[in-house]
Structure 1
Amino acid sequence: VDWDREFGTHEPTYYRWTQWLFLKMFERGLAYRREAAVNWCPSDATVLANEQVVDGRCERCGAEVEVRQLEQWFLRITDYADRLLEDLAKIEWPEHVKTMQRNWIGRSEGAEVVFNCAELDVDYPVFTTRPDTLFGTTFFVMAPEHPDVLKLAAGTDREDEVRAYVNRAMTESNDLRGSADRPKTGVSLGRTVTNPVNGEQIPMYVADYVLMEYGTGAIMAVPGHDERDHAFALAHELPIKRVIADAEDGELPYSGDGALVACGSEFDGTPNREAFEQIVASLDREGKGHSSVNYRLRDWLISRQRYWGCPIPIIHCGDCGAVPVPEADLPVVLPELDDYTPKGKSPLASAEDWVAVKCPSCGKDAKRETDTMDTFVDSSWYYLRYCDAGNDTAPWDKDVVDSWMPVSQYIGGVEHAILHLLYARFWTKAVHDMGLISFDEPFAKLFTQGMITRDGSKMSKSKGNVISPRKYVEDYGADTARCYVLFIGPPDQDADWSDEGVEGVHRFLSRLWRLAEELEPGTGGIHQPAGLDGASLTVVRKANWAIEKVTSDMAGRFAFNTAISAVMELINECYRLRAGCEEEALRFAAITAASLVFPFAPHLGSEVVDRLAGVRIWEEPWPDADPEMLESDTFELVCQVNGKVRDRVEAPSDASEAELIALARGAENMRAHLDGKETVKEVVVPGRLVNIVVR
């Protein structure tokens, strides 16, 4: 570890450059402020980004999230949506993480279609991925947050009812509102719009199942071919039309392919996928619509009403608006506060002397921005600062960063797939476009580790299921505790803690130590003995196989569990053949096992190598497999009956399947399990095993 590169993202020497980079984004229009419906955590008394809301609750404290209208700062991550999608092809990441990012960005191809409200002479565009169903539109729905909802209801007998509905809907989270199982509520706006493809007047509604953050915040409702629209139509007794034929003439709603029907137009009988293009072209010619692309991704909301965060370097002036803090005045340092607990507004607002400043542009009285940045902003670029941590004139030197980056291998939890990992990719692309770096992806390779659970649940103090390593270190030693954590399962998957598993690893390490104790101490270094045959040759071959296997498993795949398993196999082979094995062959195998297990059980590994070879393992090179020992005229054939190992025999490497079956059937311990039984099938895995299934 190079401690000269140590820093904390909470330190002014770091967040000075977070503020500097924010101002660069502000200059380029990537940072902006607007009023928006935001996720509000009533417990933390702060705003949450969409990515920080899980199942309608705050990811930090679990409180049910509300929706409020507030002035907030955003970063325009949507400008990079296509590049964030396309460049996934450039990086070696797990496919499930790429899929999570693709789904979060949510690129949809379709059309923007204009519906006109003749009473107010206002056009309302909607985005749809199914323009082929336009003829089946029987009503029009707007999100409660849509800025025109209350205007449309004004002056109608629905005004009070609409206002009450909107206020109620605004307190509910998007996850709850979007739930497929939830009853579809809504209120008529007392207005109509014109369906642009057939001129029909259809009623307008406000309903909470429509979200402002999708498309334009309004939808054309096609109850014959959409489940949520169908549920709403049934609840409010609205017409339901079939305009795409189902080959089986099944129940509605039908979302599959088929020919258009009952449209009363030239499109009747046209396959819907062809009609898709034709209808959009027709709308385009008439100025009523056009092809469009929509994204699920929304701009990154970075405002937080917390003390603990990087101050946003903006000054608000009554005449000049939002004015950047001059670079010479950076960093804007957090003031000392007696009380910074959440109260529904930014704690910094109480620091009156800190808030009151002069406008850098006109010199008049002004106020500092009192929101702080989401702490994910700080972590979106720390990897760049590591390359040039001591630089006090810039966040980094371009040549220095270009020589180090991108990160070759990143290891982190999958829970960051649509948070830190997505933000870091956006940030890297943004500073690349500013000319500050020469690469546009931060992490070339990604490995996501799993989680160790207890009784199938995530460990937490509140559940009382946290495992303390101290107990296992005291009972079994640090090597066993460490080795078991790495052996417990595939490192990219969750695994459940097992005390029996700990005991199993302890037995394995104890067997290695006993084997070393049975051999005479040595001081001759590490050497592979020559001129061996029989059991001695088999053991040395197994040691070389283990070297090859462990090296392969550890290099890039992080398959520590199978690496440790390979060492276990080697120790088992030593015990199985030790009676007919020369001491030097066993010595080499034990030293090899200790060398290979050293990264996982360093205390035991170093002691065994020191005892048997008289060398310090950490001064020795990693073992290399002898290619000649990996090539063999024979191999150990595992013989199974109904999947259970009954014997092992030597078999020629070039033996045919028939010869391998014959060898297995002739093995001494196999015959007792085969005699008098009917053979169902014989399974041969070349070079490994024969399994005979009987009944």
Structure 2
Amino acid sequence: MDFSHKAIEKKWQKIWKEKDVYQTTSNKDKKAYILDMFPYPSGSGLHVGHVKGYTATDVFSRFRRMQGYDVLHPIGWDAFGLPAEQYALSTGNDPREFTLKNIDTFRTQLQTLGFGYDFNKEVNTAHPEFYKTTQWIFEQLYKLGLAELRDIEVNWSQDLGTVLANDEVEIKDGIMVSERGGYPVVKKTMKQWVLKITAYAEKLLAGLETLDWPQSVKELQKNWIGKSEGVEISFKTQTGVDLKVFTTRADTIYGATYLVLAPEHEAVHLISTSNQLSEVETYIKQTKQKSEIDRKDDSKPKTGVFTGAYAINPITKEAIPVWIADYVLNDYGSGAVMAVPAHDPRDWEFATKFNLAIKFVLAAKDQSKAFVGEAKHINSDFLDGLDRQEANRKILERLEAENLGIKKINYKLRDWLFSRQRFYGEPFPVYYTNDGNIGLIDVKDLPVTLPQTSYIKPSGTGESPLANVKEWVEIEVNGQKVKRETNTMPQSAGSSWYYLAYILTDQPNQLIDLESEEAKARFNKWMPVDLYIGGQEHAVGHLLYARFWNHVLYDLGILKTQEPFQKLYNQGMILGPDGKKMSKSWGNVINPDDVIQSHGADALRLYEMFMGPLDASLPWSYDGLDAALKWLNRVFRLVNNTTFSTTNNQELDFVYHDVVKKVTIMVDELKLNTAISQLMVLMNAFYKYEPSTIYQPYIEGFVKMLALFAPHLAEEIWSILGHETSLVNEAWPIYDETKLIASTVTIAFQVNGKLRGTKEVAIGLDKETLIKLAKSDENVDKFIKNKKIVKEIVIFDKIVNIVVN
């Protein structure tokens, strides 16, 4: 008889909720903070890709809880965002209502999957009680000088009415458009809030070395921060303009044959000659149509324009041309490049295209392309014959002695653009006086909440729609009429500290103050996060911003841990059955609600954890899902209406303790597919015996392990076995090392080296006995009958090989 997954899952979800079995405890000496990258509650709900990561954290949380840990396993909602804003603008409906409806859908889906979240700790980044703390953190950043208003060039979408981050923009048909909706995007200078994450570049680099993260993610962050040690050299133009150039290869200065400036460089208009100015300005306009990602793409053909100006190489005293090109970015280094085309592939491509001089200053056998290896210097006067290290030391000495250059460290990391022109975001706790001064809203008056308004209209001026709500914008502070900041914070603001919000919460969206002594005590208990699972798409943005805020809160004395996430794991994607990434446009999206209806939550969870390594991206298979349900039915049939033995005949000792040991190790290492394989091994072993002879504690240990993956069925079996308590807080099964000494072994029987049979035998049998057993095997006999035996080879406890003519 198969089990009814619908009835069992509904029954146990009701019991878990009524008894609040997943409520966080805080009374043990071991803790495990296990976290998912929380979802944006879109209207489409969860997909099976979400289920993969969430099931993995649920498995690990159940495991740690049964091992006697205090477990914090919360969930919340990254609820601000552009989709809700667009919905509001297109329908006139309040995005808050739309978002809350979506949250209800997501929560129900998570509960039907049997996830053991503590919903008492649920948070919503769009709830005023949450963003009260976001605003408080912003005020601390401002007071520390880490937040400032700045005129900067941004990606502006008139249709969306907001600034977009670089990763929200793409190029289509040579035009810069928004990733969402494909709306035109232009470069525009606007006054924006920025956070000075660059001030923490060195700390963020150092912190990576303390973390148990995938090396690939660490490298992505290191490359994004992009620390470079080099020299800033002064090149003066013939008209006296001083151009500062940053280079990591000052030793190749004798090979510098031209300079390249970013089109946005402040000196471009100062140095461009009158006959080149028109061409220069046209090129600058064209550059504004390109995204930063497009400009960084080295596969694109190089473009550029000569300014008409020449600069003097400070060492060779040669006049070299100054160009502008979009592959040079203004906010990295000094926005100016000392081009050495003989030893840089980008400069080589540019020089060859525009017929500029190429001069080799490193000994290269092949001078048909740029040489970037290590070699002795040539054509370099007093540097000739020196290696890189010694040449760099000598050229720096000379540059410093003549006040032509200084040693400098640069970072690719940019300050964090922190303004959005949206209604639906965290309001800044900021106001402006009539004379332009900036003020912070008093902490006691936080949160600054969004206004209640029936219709959200675009401002039409580049400002947030909030600019239209006059009664909200114009306020009095200390008897003085002032105006609020109308920009809002980006969605990444809330996600940069939400992991702390769970610790502060005992009831949904009710947070204690971040700076209170109670908060600090809780942080000391729970931080850092012990396991953080999510997609690699957050490897840079979210993880870098969260680490930055955590470092700041550490420096403020609120946290005792510099780093927020000790162990990070990136789960792989679940692809469509066709092997493509799931997408509505491909028609290959699998809805977990449908799977739960047809196969049940336990089968879905088991299948996704068994389909392959957790970090692998693999295609969905309905055959695999069917097999998972079939196996669960097999488990149920063994236990249902069966009375097991209360005495141990010891026949299952080895396999049981071996499986418990392996599953314990494998779950701890997140090798969840192989852990399930071991459960299948144990179930196969059970089926070899009459059920009434199986030792009940072994069945119970199996059920405890099964509960990680199929908690509903495991609870049902646990009750069938006569238990009235929930499995959730049962102790994890213990293995006995003394039972792991095998008394039997499987011997392979071969004829002429080919496998013809196997037999489980006692360990340590002598050669004669083993040969006799092999010859008595029916299949072996077929291949040696009426043949001359040439040799009999025995490898004790492993192989018997009979060689015949």
TM-score between both structures, scaled by the size of structure 1: 0.86
- Does structure 1 conserve the Cα–Cα contact (< 8 Å) formed by 2:166 and 2:292? no
Match of 2:547 in 1: 425
Please say if 1:252 is aligned against 2:358: no
Match of 1:118 in 2: 238
Query: How far off its partner does 1:448 sit?
Result: 2.4
- Please, which of 131, 155, 162 is the counterpart of residue 280 of structure 2? 162
Measured in 1, the distance between the counterparts of 2:753 and 2:138 equals: 62
Please say if 1:279 is aligned against 2:378: no
Measured in 1, the distance between the counterparts of 2:754 and 2:155 equals: 57
Match of 1:571 in 2: 683
Measured in 2, the distance between the counterparts of 1:140 and 1:81 equals: 28
Please say if 1:322 is aligned against 2:438: yes
Q: 1:586 to 1:327 in 2, by over 3 A?
A: closer
Measured in 2, the distance between the counterparts of 1:530 and 1:434 equals: 60
Match of 2:740 in 1: 630
- Does structure 1 conserve the Cα–Cα contact (< 8 Å) formed by 2:603 and 2:629? yes
Deviation string 1:556-581 (CA, Å, 9 cap, x unpaired) is x2322111111112223344x44xx6
- Please, which of 302, 307, 320 is the counterpart of residue 184 of structure 1? 302
- Please, which of 618, 638, 654 is the counterpart of residue 541 of structure 1? 654
Q: 1:11 to 1:641 in 2, by over 3 A?
A: farther
Match of 2:348 in 1: 230
Match of 2:664 in 1: 551
Measured in 2, the distance between the counterparts of 1:163 and 1:22 equals: 39
- Please, which of 623, 636, 639 is the counterpart of residue 513 of structure 1? 636
Equivalent residue of 1:204, what SS? Answer: strand
Query: How far off its partner does 1:309 sit?
Result: 0.8
Equivalent residue of 1:304, what SS? Answer: coil
- Does structure 1 conserve the Cα–Cα contact (< 8 Å) formed by 2:459 and 2:468? no
Query: How far off its partner does 1:240 sit?
Result: 1.1
Equivalent residue of 1:192, what SS? Answer: strand
Match of 1:31 in 2: 147
Q: Which stretch has the larger CA shift, 638-647 or 545-554?
A: 638-647
Q: Which stretch has the larger CA shift, 663-672 or 54-63?
A: 663-672
- Does structure 1 conserve the Cα–Cα contact (< 8 Å) formed by 2:400 and 2:406? yes
Measured in 2, the distance between the counterparts of 1:642 and 1:69 equals: 81
Please say if 1:405 is aligned against 2:534: no
Query: How far off its partner does 1:215 sit?
Result: 1.1
- Please, which of 246, 257, 268 is the counterpart of residue 127 of structure 1? 246
Match of 1:197 in 2: 315
- Please, which of 333, 336, 340 is the counterpart of residue 218 of structure 1? 336
Equivalent residue of 2:383, what SS? Answer: coil
- Does structure 1 conserve the Cα–Cα contact (< 8 Å) formed by 2:259 and 2:338? yes
Counterpart AA for 2:201? A
- Does structure 2 conserve the Cα–Cα contact (< 8 Å) formed by 1:10 and 1:309? yes
Please say if 1:448 is aligned against 2:555: no
Q: How many residues align?
A: 664
- Does structure 2 conserve the Cα–Cα contact (< 8 Å) formed by 1:306 and 1:342? no
Query: How far off its partner does 1:664 sit?
Result: 9.2
Q: 1:613 to 1:249 in 2, by over 3 A?
A: same
Measured in 2, the distance between the counterparts of 1:647 and 1:287 equals: 84
Counterpart AA for 2:233? V
Match of 1:679 in 2: none
Q: Which stretch has the larger CA shift, 663-672 or 446-455?
A: 663-672
Please say if 1:522 is aligned against 2:643: yes
Query: How far off its partner does 1:662 sit?
Result: 12
Match of 1:415 in 2: 537
Measured in 2, the distance between the counterparts of 1:156 and 1:294 equals: 34
Match of 2:91 in 1: none
Please say if 1:171 is aligned against 2:289: yes
Deviation string 1:234-279 (CA, Å, 9 cap, x unpaired) is 2211111111111x3342211111111122x111222233212221
Equivalent residue of 2:193, what SS? Answer: strand
Q: Which stretch has the larger CA shift, 494-503 or 44-53?
A: 44-53
Unaligned residue ranges in structure 2 (runs of 5+)? 1-22, 24-117, 788-792
Equivalent residue of 1:189, what SS? Answer: strand
Match of 1:78 in 2: 198
Measured in 2, the distance between the counterparts of 1:42 and 1:640 equals: 76
> Cα RMSD (Å) of the superposition?
3.6
- Does structure 2 conserve the Cα–Cα contact (< 8 Å) formed by 1:195 and 1:202? yes
Measured in 2, the distance between the counterparts of 1:540 and 1:485 equals: 30
Deviation string 1:99-118 (CA, Å, 9 cap, x unpaired) is 22112111122221111113
Deviation string 1:480-515 (CA, Å, 9 cap, x unpaired) is 222112212212222211111112222322332333
Counterpart AA for 2:473? V
Unaligned residue ranges in structure 1 (runs of 5+)? 677-681
Query: How far off its partner does 1:633 sit?
Result: 3.6
Match of 1:262 in 2: 379
